[in-house]
Chains A and B, each alone.
Chain A
Amino acid sequence: MLYGLLVIAPVLQAMYYSGFKWNGLGDLDDFVGLENFRRAFADDVFTGALWHNGVFVVLSLLAQLPFALSVALMLNARIRGRALLRVLYFAPFVLSEVVTGVVFTLMLQPGGLADGVSPVDREWLADPSIVLYTLFVAISWKYFGFHMILYLAGLQQIPRELEEAAIVDGASGWQVFRHVTLPLLGPTIRISAFLSIIGALQLFDLVWVMTGGGPVNASNTMAIYMVDWGFKRFQFGYASAVAVIMLVISLAFALLYQRYVLRRDIEGALTSMGR
């Protein structure tokens, strides 16, 4: 009942609104059918935003998660000060995205800290060709600690004996990682990738604070685009259509991922060999 009221009802409402041209005031009387959806996909700014979300997904999978995994592996070994390092690396995750955004904006503005330590003089947030990657660094800084903790928890579950047995059998360090550690970490990696992709698709707070989607839409995301059309241009019908597109993409991804990737984990298989 509560779920229906708080989740299903707003979703249905957004779907209903998405069929109208509506400025948020007065009655819904201008039904336009699927025109709002056609318009979104015909708009370079929206398809650009969709593309940026895609870039964030790919970069997260290819850079952020492997980085988090390597840090987790390092901190799983018995090294000095490992408890302190774990806390330090996890700390950014407890900051809100807004605080992270403000901190990075201060560092990256001309004359800020980044100008002092960086070997190249760049306009990190003002240059449309690099702003997306600047934002990715800020996002990774905040979230890698979270994925690191997930991986650490996963690594703790792996019995030492298995790795030791592999070493006794003459496996190299890489072979142990590739054929013992990684497969056993599979369920954790699949969950972490899932959360990371959904996060990248819904990205909003940090971008809103740091660039507002600019300059010239170079860092726009679907969520930014939606808020921009809803609350700055007051075209709520169109903004609802964008919300529905976001929902469909996220939902389709989540269902497919559960069906094809997470199935083994959900069905309770403990181990599986990589792919």
Chain B
Amino acid sequence: MIQPVRSALVLAATALLVACGGGGDDDGSGSASKSTGPVTIEWWHIQNNDPMKSVWADAVKQYEAANPNVKINVTVLENEAFKAKLTTTMQGGKVPDIFQSWGGGTLKEQVEAGLVQDVTEPTKAWIGDLNSAATGLYQIDGKQYGVPFNLGMVGVWYRKSLFEQAGIDAPPATWDEFLTTVQALKQKGVTPLAVGEKDKWPGMFWWANLSLRIAGKDALAQAGEDGSFDSPGFVKAGAELKRLIDLQPFQKGFLAAPWDGAGGEAAQIGNGKAAMSLMGQWAPSTYAANTKESEEVLADLGWFPFPTVDGGAGGPTEQFGGGDGFAIGKDAPPEAVDFIKFLVTSDVANKAGASGGILPVKKGTESSVTDPNMKSVLDARAQADFVQLYLDQAYAPAVGQAVNDAVQELFAGKASPQDVAGKIADAAKAG
């Protein structure tokens, strides 16, 4: 095809530029060892909001000052814009030197297409300093294809004041207690739950958590291999979710509500119109951004891990979540790995943790997190021995979307738990 020819041309042109001593905009130096000649690293990240945006801008300045031969070209993109831009760039056979990755199925496809570097060797000396649940998300067939910098998990955020209003003194620990809590809130005229089902993935969180609790992590891994999403555990998970949906616990018009934005899930919690939402560690800042009473919300938030289900295969130390990390493009110079090491293992991780923007993965940096909301997620992470990656990242994109679609039908009352399990299985088996 045309792509290899084109990238070969780019490489040749780059080599020429480097040979001539012109620094410029080279994609990679191609040399095997760290060179002292001028090197440019293309870095695409999606931390487009403060505090993380500034934390990383400062880190770049610091690194460039310490390594005068390295120039880092930063491209900051919004999440969806990043995905679209990366896809079109990759179709042209090109890839940035360092780019955002969530690991899992998408990373696997990129690896299979030969776009991502195996960094097992260059990271061997220090990868053990990072949280193993996080680094595991970037391992494919025992090889390391990326480095995490953030790992969080999904749990239930709630407004303490609304719980008090309904006379609930302790957060529920089991699924049955949770359903009782929902009914108690409803009886007091409080909308128990907010969900942004227009976006589909917020609903998927419910199904995925129940699947992890009932079918278990091994069944999820197995289904990823052979498409057995129609096994009894998944049908049972759908049936339990239907029990919840049948209580009509969600805000009015939830099928058209987004997660973030006008009338969305975050605005419901932010404005105290609903009591609980099932969401990841990024939720508090989004709730705060969707209301005029930001301070009030942040002080009124509580968090508990997803309830356990009696008789299920999964235990309380298995959590559903994911994080952020970086993959290294095929033509990246060795300095790219060195820069990532600087980002995740140096004092930058402490600063990032202290900023409240992320939950750093380097062991020992956990204490830098002081925000009480982030701290409650971090405490649960410390007890977790397994993190199931978000399903739309863990599986091939088409399977992840099939999960989202099928679960939305369950929320809309258009499909039975059996239908949902069957539809996902069909999509997974079609590959």
Contacts and interface: CB of A to CB of B under 8 A. Distances in A.
Given A123-B252, A212-B198, A215-B412, A235 B398 contact: yes
A123 to B, nearest CB: 5
A216 B113 contact: no
B409 interface: yes
Given A126-B257, A231-B83, A25 B262 contact: no
A233 B91 contact: no
A26 B112 contact: yes
Contact of A211 (B87, B91, B256, B414): B256
B151 to A, nearest CB: 24
A228 B397 CA distance: 11
A105 B90 CA distance: 34
Contacts of A216: 255, 408-409, 412, 414
A215 B401 contact: no
Interface stretch (A52-60, A73-81, A106-114): A106-114
B234 interface: no
Contacts of A235: 398
B263 interface: yes
Contacts of B412: 128, 215-216
Given A106-B262, A215-B198, A216-B409, A23 B109 contact: yes
Interface string B102-114: 0000000110111
A25 B109 contact: yes
Contacts of B397: 23, 232-234
B198 A25 contact: no
A24 interface: yes
A214 interface: yes
A27 B93 CA distance: 10
B87 A126 contact: no
B109 A125 contact: no
B170 interface: no
Contacts of B414: 128, 216
Contact of B90 (A25, A106, A211, A233): A25
A30 to B, nearest CB: 11
Contacts of B8: none
A88 interface: no
A25 B255 contact: no
B255 A214 contact: yes
Interface in B226-268: 251-257, 262-263
Nearest to A131: B256
Given A28-B1, A214-B198, A215-B198, A109 B83 contact: no
Which of A28, A108, A229, A231 gathers the greatest number of chain B CB atoms within 10 Å? A231
Interface residues of A, number: 34
Residues of A contacting B: mostly: loop
Contact of B87 (A24, A105, A109): A24
Interface string A215-249: 11100000000001101111110000000000000
B401 A110 contact: no
Contacts of A124: 256
B57 interface: no
A123 B91 contact: no
Given A215-B255, A216-B414, A233 B263 contact: no
B84 interface: yes
Contacts of B409: 216
A28 B198 CA distance: 34
A215 B414 CA distance: 11
A24 B255 CA distance: 31
Contacts of A127: 255
A126 to B, nearest CB: 4
B258 to A, nearest CB: 9
B113 A126 contact: no
A232 B113 CA distance: 18
A123 B91 CA distance: 41
A231 B84 contact: yes
B115 A25 contact: yes
B1 A27 contact: yes
B253 A110 contact: yes
Of A105, A131, A215, A217, the most chain B CB neighbours within 10 A belong to A215
B87 A231 contact: yes
A27 B34 CA distance: 32
Given A211-B198, A216-B414, A25 B110 contact: yes
Interface centre among A127, A229, A232 (most CB of B within 10 A): A232
A236 B84 CA distance: 13
A126 B256 contact: yes
Interface in A123-174: 123-128, 131
Interface centre among A28, A105, A106 (most CB of B within 10 A): A105
A234 B109 contact: yes
A109 B262 contact: yes
Interface of A: 23-28, 105-106, 108-112, 123-128, 131, 211-212, 214-217, 228-229, 231-236
28 contacts: A25-B90, A25-B109, A28-B1, A106-B262, A106-B263, A108-B256, A109-B257, A110-B263, A112-B263, A123-B253, A126-B252, A131-B256, A211-B198, A211-B256, A212-B198, A212-B199, A214-B256, A215-B198, A215-B255, A215-B256, A215-B408, A216-B408, A229-B398, A231-B83, A231-B84, A231-B87, A232-B401, A233-B398
Q: Which 10 A-B pairs have the closest CB atoms?
A: A25-B113, A109-B263, A125-B256, A215-B255, A26-B113, A126-B256, A126-B253, A126-B255, A233-B398, A110-B253
Given A109-B256, A128-B255, 14 more contacts: A25-B91, A109-B263, A112-B263, A125-B255, A214-B256, A215-B197, A215-B255, A215-B408, A216-B255, A216-B408, A216-B414, A228-B401, A229-B398, A231-B87
